[in-house]
Each structure stands twice: as C-alpha cells, then as structure tokens.
Amino acid sequence: MTVPGALDLPQNASDMDESHDLALLQLGQYLQAEDYRFVTVTPLSHQRVNQREENRVAQDLRGIFGWSRPFENGLLPPDTLEALLDSGVIRARAGMWVSDVRWSSLDDALFVHSSFPTVAHDSVFFGPDTYRFAQAIEAHLSTSTHTIRTAVDIGCGSGVGAILIAKARRHANVLAVDINPTALRFTAVNASLAGTENVSAWHSDILASTTGEFDLIVANPPYMQDTQQRAYRHGGDQLGSELSVRILAQAIDRLAPGGSVLLYTGAPSVGGVDLFLQQAHGLIERADLAWSYREMDPDVFGEELETDTYKEAERIAAVVLTVTRLN
C-alpha cells in the first residue's frame, strides 16, 4: 500500500477498475470529512426499514450510501455526483440516482462494500457478522503475547480482518486473500483509506497462492448452504460448514510455532449436534495444538429454518474457534 490518496490495486485490475476505485477512495475521503457513520444491519432488517413510506427516497448521505435508497439532485455536490457517474459508482434508476456501493463504519474506519440487496455473485458482504468478527479479532489481539510478523485474512471480503490486524500490528506483513476480484479491489480501497500500508491484497483460493507460515490466520467465510451457490454466501455442504472446515484444515498446516487460527463462522445444530464442531474435532484434537471454542450468538439467520435446506436444523450459532500451534 502507498499513502492514502493512492491505490495499490491487485495486479489483474484494469484501467477501468482503477478509475472506478480511485473514485471510491475519493468518495471515502469525502464521507470521512462529512463525519459519515452507518451501522449495517441484517438484510431482513434493511428491507423492513426501507419499506417504510418515509424511507422510499434518500434524504441524506446515510440514505444514499448506507440504506441504498434512490436519490435526487441536490444531495451531493455537482462535481462529486459527476465524478461518481463518470466512474460508474452511481447510476441512473427510474429518473433518480442510486449508488452501487454502501459504506459502513467500524470504530473510526469506513469500509466500502456492495449495495443492498446483495444479489450478484461477486457481491462483497458487510453486516452484523462483520462486527462480531471484528470483536473476536480485537479480543484476540488484546490478549495475545505472540509476536505477529506475518498474518493473513482468508476470504477477506471488504478487508476488515486484515485492516484491523495491520492497524494493531504496524510492523506485520498482512495479506488479504480472496477469490473474488471485487473483494480484492474493495479491500485495496479500504486499506488505503485506513492508511494501512502493510496490507496487500492477493487473489488466492484459501492459501493456495501464498507461501510460508503465518503467525495469525483469520477467516470469516460464508457459512450458509445457499441453493444459488453465491460465492459471498455459500459455505458448501453440511449445512454450509464444509468451507469452514476446509479453511481450518489448510490454516492449521500453515501456522508458525506459537501462531493461531481465528475462525469466525456459523455452526448449524441438528438433533443437538453442532455439525461444524463435530467435523473440526478431527483436525484440532492433536498434541501440538491448543484450542478454544465459544458461541458469540446462539441464534442467527433464524429465517433459514423455514427453508427446505434447513428443515432439520434447530438453530445456527455464530461461533469463534481459536486454534494455536504450541511451541
């Protein structure tokens, strides 16, 4: 990363991508100057709030870039609107304008991600899971005494994990990896906006394109079994826990002595059995590993229990598994 105001995009980014993402960076700087704040809620809550008659059209920056509502002329400075239209960040819809991205706040940082609703296969998700993931990382960093020289955020999405680590450990080399080019570009924008010069965005299927060992590996993978198999949401079979188990297996093998894997994911329960932990046991019950496991929320995405896919599930919990390689 270079200084804020410049972008170090992934190598496969095109000139059009660079123009688009430079406009995003400048938009982020504008929102920072306007003291913009927005907490992103669940898709269902977002839908319910936007369905209220008074919320059909945006009235302020939060309406445009948080709630993804259409807006009319006058809410943005003319030169800002023109630049965003030219770069494709904003487009016309039904006689008004609409943003193709959202901006969410986390502590003192802003993160760009996909607009609502997130229906495209390359959507970049940010929501309540992201806030819980951030809390888990911050808790780990506040108690860990292990020196972090190298770290990686697997399936980085908007780059929250990588950026939090990079801000807390300024001398660490932090990778943000994903198979989604849009996620990598958004991560580059967010890292540059945050001033984290020690973050690099790389295309990788889990850790396949990386080398060496890591002192800290974090991941917040998709954990739903999605019938449409959208990349930002689909966690594979076993009611969405397959991908989390695959990430865990690869991550454990790449830990440096004293290093840790922090995996935030969903754990579906069937007949009182935690399907994720049941599969993870075979990987973590080793003499050279220590591990801890806790539920951050016992019941998330309860609406999924009404679908055929989850008809046998009792609940889906949000969990954190931390595995440390002993010295």
pLDDT tens digits, one per residue of 257-312: 999 999 999 999 999 999 999 999 999 999 999 999 999 999 999 999 999 999 99
**Phi and psi angles of residue 197, each rounded to the nearest 5 degrees, phi first:** -75, -10
Taking CA atoms, 157 is separated from 82, 84, 102, 113, 183, in Å, by 28, 22, 13, 8, 5
C-alpha to C-alpha distance for 58 and 101, rounded to whole angstroms: 14
C-alpha to C-alpha distance for 80 and 34, rounded to whole angstroms: 13
Asked if 279 contacts 267 with a C-beta cutoff of 8 angstroms, the reply is: no
Q: What is the mean pLDDT of the chain?
A: 94
C-alpha to C-alpha distance for 240 and 4, rounded to whole angstroms: 37
Please list the residues that pair with 111 across neighbouring strands: 104
In sequence order, what E strands does the chain have?
90-93, 96-99, 101-106, 109-114, 150-154, 173-178, 199-203, 214-219, 255-270, 273-274, 289-297, 315-325
Domain boundaries, the chain: 15-114, 128-325
One-letter amino acid of 269? S
162: pLDDT strictly greater than 60: yes
pLDDT tens digits, one per residue of 128-161: 999 999 999 999 999 999 999 999 999 999 999 9
Asked if 199 contacts 136 with a C-beta cutoff of 8 angstroms, the reply is: no
Please list the residues that pair with 96 across neighbouring strands: 93
CATH class of 128-325: alpha beta
Provide the percentage of residues in the chain whose pLDDT is more than 90: 89
Note the helical H segments in 113-180.
128-143, 160-168
pLDDT tens digits, one per residue of 76-121: 999 999 999 999 999 999 999 999 999 999 999 999 999 999 988 8
